[in-house]
Chains A and B, each alone.
Chain A
Amino acid sequence: MTITGTVARISGAVVSARGLAGARMYDVVRVGNERLVGEIVVLDRDVATIQVYEDTEGIAPGEPVTTTGMPLAVELGPGLLGTIYDGIQRPLEVIRDEIGDFILRGVHAPGLRRDRGWDFTPIARRGDRVEPGDLLGTVVETEVHEHRVMVPPGIRGRIEEIASEGRYTVEEVVATVRDDARLHRVRMLQYWPVRQPRPVRMRLEPTDPLISGQRVVDTFFPLVKGGTAALPGPFGAGKTVVQHQLAKYVNADIIVYVGCGERGNEMADVLRQFPALVDPTTGKSLMDRTVLIGNTSNMPVAAREASVYTGITIAEYYRDMGYDVALMADSTSRWAEAMREISGRLEEMPGEQGYPAYLASRLADFYERAGRMTVLGSAGRTGSVTVIGSVSPPGGDFSEPVTQNTLRVVKVLWALDADLAHERHFPAINWLTSYSSYAGTVRGWWAERAAPMWEEYRAEMMGVLQAESELLETVQLVGEDVLPEEDRLVLVQARLIRDGFLIQSAFHPVDTYCTAEKQYLMLELLVRFYRQAREAVAAGVSAAAVGGLAVKTRLERMPFVPNETFPDEYASIKEEIAEAFAGLTAGRSAYGVTMRG
């Protein structure tokens, strides 16, 4: 049933309409003569306050407002992968074909194409008893993934009919399910309201790391499948590059990338690169596993608010099929600011820094939708949603509300640092302020994969970095001269860890992705070098002599050695370390003197 009222007031993205008694909270409405999409956010008797997902310029009081009786929902089914949508799931490429290069308002295009046929292979048979989440059949959505057509939540019963193998559009009925009284027609096209988490059977503990090929992440601050991470940093610290690297290389099955209130050229960059890039796990085009949501900063602010929900609902849908999904939200601050902007227009009581008082609970609700789950369905499949949210704190000050409220719920912090970025130390993840609560969780995974000493090596190198930061404070005051040799060695080693391990070039063809195996071997060599160096220093060799070894330059250039040939390089460097230190301790007195300068 639809109700029609009239526009009473317009202020930016917020419109009030009267005559809407009977309309429901969060229902989608069509506003004005151009039928712009909006959502009811406040009800006061017959007056509804609506946030409008399109530009409201030109709307006048008196124009009609019509309810749809439906909450804001996304269309789910085959055809999501490889597509770029705006914040309310309008396919941007289709819109471009229809109206040209600029986005005009009042454009409507469904999220999934109605004219395309998909090859459906049935799994369930006539007469089967099915429950929500059970598989009806499969469709090859892209080269990489089979799309599993599931019984939607809320439907259980006996299959009366199931489509035979063949090509169907998303609107065609592929199965009919009869429960006690009703006959349900199930299509590949399903809807789900974005603000409501999709149901699961059970939450599970995460177990496996989400390997990204980024050394500082995988080795020092690991994330797990089903985990949550925050990536705060001032502008220019490289949030987006890190997010793009993760989207390219993490070993998830499906990527949902939400560009929320960020730059148009960044989305263009993803669209340019991803189709040509190869997923290191499957060897297929990256675009085949990716859904993009692009609501850039100059697109309507309310749709920016919706974009993260659109993204996570799509992520949950693929999780329900039994896939590991990773969602990148860049940037959650823009989402929070959109909330603040709408809240301000609603004249709500502001909380900290003008953000609405419900900021913390909205953030928490969002991150809670991540996790590793046993999904619906009698088969007991597991799937996961990992969420990585960028945060853009004003002035780079992490004490602001969005960063702080995010840190309360996420388990990993990758803190980006302006000073590191200024020195072009990328990724500019500060190793002293970042943390991961999953290091213990993933220990077993590394131990099983020929990396038995992973935890110990990691701790040892982290200890060097920690010690360096303390020593540098002293050096700042009194200079390096006064330090004992073993402390000067710590400085040499820390420099080596930074240059030879932590710095990783996203733009270098080899260095952009470092396999877990190579990471471990690199780590092993760094530890080996340090242990030998300590012995040498204890035997009277100077730290400067250690720093002058030719093999150190080789260690610093390890990042550029291809993953495939690294085991050979490893063996060769290992040998050279042994020889170098043997030489050093043998001729230490003469060498030490010349190098001290």
Chain B
Amino acid sequence: MSSDRKQQGRGREYRSVTRVTGPLIAVSGVEGAAYGEVVEVTVPSGERRTGRVLESREDTAIVQVFGGTEAVDTVRTSVRFTGETMKIGVTEALLGRILDGTGEPIDGGPLLIPDAMRDISGNPINPSARDFPRDSIETGISAIDGMNTLVRGQKLPIFSGSGLPHARLAAQIARQARVRGEAESFSVVFAAMGITYEEADFFIRNFRETGALEQAVVFVNRADDPVIERLITPQVALTVAEYLAFDLGYHVLVILTDMTNYCEALREVAAAREEVPGRRGYPGYMYTDLAGIYERAGRIKGREGSITQIPILTIPNDDITHPVPDLTGYITEGQIVFSRDLHRKGIYPPIDLLPSLSRLMQGGIGEGRTREDHAAVKDQLYAAYARGRRLRNLVAVVGEESLGDIDRLYLVFADRFEREFLRQAENERRSFEETLDAAWRLLSMLPESELVRIEPSLIERYYPRRTEG
């Protein structure tokens, strides 16, 4: 991250910090500070930090300081207004590099020479320029490919909880994801916000071992890095992703983890500004703010590349109505929801299919894309599994004896579905056909008359008992 260095001569410098609260400082006597302008704060020790104007009045600017306000005083600290909004230098040479949360390299690699400077907040894609995403991605994971297909250009978050294996699943997707009929894999832009050293290391090691690192740009803002820096990490990462995708034609998979930490940083700044808090203290504009991140996924007509986003959220207290997952779910195109129960049962990936959803699945599946029976099989699996799960709850109260034969079949179905379809190894890669064939094997447990979501012609073709004779 840097402001445009060429413009430094235009800077105006002030030593008039009047107030410091949390990550914010107020600078008085400032003339014409632009909203969003980048400032350079020099604390008495000589250390320099970057900041951004959050509110500008005729004589005062409220500045949010990245790197925190530690050691800022109201006498000797100087603040220089650069006349620039926040930008990052972008270049193809970023691939293979590891940077901090503001975009400074931390891997000791060679100096980066930018091809262009890009404003980190980006600009909204014109809705009429968007190409509707339809190329389904084969992640090799049945719970996703079969039931909640991901398509190129989609934003599909993982709703997880502390202690659940979201990092492993995200790494598996990054490693295995392919578009059918294309040899080329995805480039990965990985942005970590406030995650532990261990977790960051897991991803970096994983990318390194599988050779994915050469095709990845890694941004790491760790748990002990300044909270406030987290606020720009996703924007910086997505600016790089947009350059790779829409200027250079890469298919980019962006993994953002952990969005809950990002939202907490947002809340912290809002509190320091004494804003009217919304639900659970998060600011009222959090929806708009998150949309500014998630909506940067997509495809553009006439351009080669794409941005697919997998944001990861650890849901506080496993409460899906918490504002972070709630607002996210309203913006993203579906969600993959993790279940602690399945995890306890030893099922990986522990995806709770009932609340999980891919909104763009419908356009990406079917004849010529995956297979003609995909939509109907998915509907039938959902209906059958939901019924099995409902019966499981019932049996817990009234016992299995009270169930009829058919209902008992559904109970067994739900168990087998979790063990044989949902569960798979971390290095197991199933094709769409393998996933769908596995689905039919399970469905064949049920009599044909139960398969009311599937048209007879498809049953004729795929129902195993028939084909075996």
Binding site for B on A (CB under 8 A): 8-12, 55-63, 84, 92-93, 95-96, 100-104, 234-236, 240, 259, 261, 263-265, 267-269, 271-272, 294, 296-299, 301, 334, 337, 340-341, 344, 350, 353-354, 392, 394-397, 418, 421-424, 475-481, 499-500, 505, 507, 544, 550, 553, 556-557, 560, 597
Contacts and interface: CB of A to CB of B under 8 A. Distances in A.
Interface stretch (B34-42, B260-268, B340-348): B34-42
Interface in B255-275: 275
10 contacts: A9-B57, A56-B35, A57-B35, A61-B32, A101-B300, A104-B123, A268-B130, A298-B291, A350-B276, A354-B284
Contact of A395 (B291, B326, B399): B326
Contacts of B57: 8-9, 61
Contacts of B126: 92, 95-96, 100-103
B165 interface: no
A547 to B, nearest CB: 9
B398 A236 contact: no
B81 to A, nearest CB: 10
Nearest to B62: A11
Contacts of B449: 550, 553
Contact of B124 (A10, A235, A298): A298
B95 interface: no
Nearest to B323: A394
Contacts of A423: 354, 382-383, 386-387
A20 to B, nearest CB: 15
B398 A477 contact: yes
A57 B121 contact: yes
Contacts of B291: 261, 296-298
Nearest to A552: B449
A236 B331 CA distance: 10
A341 B278 CA distance: 10
Which interface residue of B85, B127, B322, B383 has the most chain A CB atoms within 10 A? B127
B292 interface: yes
Nearest to B387: A423
A477 B402 CA distance: 11
Contacts, number: 225
A269 B303 CA distance: 18
A57 B399 contact: no
Given A236-B335, A296-B124, A544-B404, A424 B284 contact: no
B355 A265 contact: no
Given A236-B357, A265-B360, A353-B279, A60 B35 contact: yes
Contact of A301 (B128, B285, B382): B285
A165 B282 CA distance: 61
B127 A296 contact: yes
A341 B284 contact: yes
A310 B456 CA distance: 48
Nearest to A57: B36
Contacts of B37: 58, 60
A296 B298 CA distance: 13
A556 B383 CA distance: 14
A594 B102 CA distance: 72
B56 A475 contact: no
A499 B340 CA distance: 31
Nearest to B335: A236
B125 A102 contact: yes
Contact of A59 (B34, B292, B394): B34
A558 to B, nearest CB: 10
Contact of B386 (A59, A353, A424, A480): A424
B33 interface: yes
B166 interface: no
Contact of B131 (A268, A301, A505): A268
B397 interface: yes
Given A422-B386, A550-B449, A597-B404, A264 B125 contact: yes
A480 B449 CA distance: 22
Contacts of B35: 10-12, 56-60
Contacts of B426: none
A268 B127 contact: yes
Contacts of A597: 404-405
B276 A354 contact: yes
B132 A60 contact: no
B51 interface: no
B127 A84 contact: yes
A194 B85 CA distance: 34
Nearest to B334: A236
B112 interface: no
A20 B167 CA distance: 55
